[in-house]
Amino acid sequence: MNRTSPALRLALHHNGRAHYAEHTLVVVPHPDTGALPLNFPATIGALEDMSDDQLEALLAFYGQPATGGTMDKCYRLKAFIGQ
């Protein structure tokens, strides 16, 4: 799977349209393997409420850097999933 796979494009497109805490998110598959993370947040609000450890785990799953504070990690994850 890569960044142009239909499942990944669909998830990124849907997530890009979510703007409020109660809006649902679509699980983004790993771009290389297509695997799905176990702890993907259901909504934007759930993503914003994730702990530092939870954010680090998701960023590591996607091969993204987990540096900086909790807000930095949240913004990085949001950008990666299409927010």
pLDDT tens sequence across 10-23: 999 999 999 999 99
pTM: 0.89
pLDDT of residue 4: 67
Instruction: Say if 45 falls within a structural domain.
Output: yes
Instruction: Say if 76 falls within a structural domain.
Output: yes
**Residue-by-residue DSSP string for 10-49:** HHHHHHHT--STT-B-PPPPPTTT----TT--SBHHHHHT
- Domain holding 27, by residue range, is 6-80
pLDDT of residue 38: 92
pLDDT of residue 5: 84
Pick out the chain residues at pLDDT < 50. Answer: none
CA angle 33–35–36, rounded 5-degree value: 150
Task: Please state the domain count of the chain.
Answer: 1
Residue 36's identity, in one-letter code, is: L
pLDDT of residue 27: 96
CATH code of 21's domain: 1.10.720
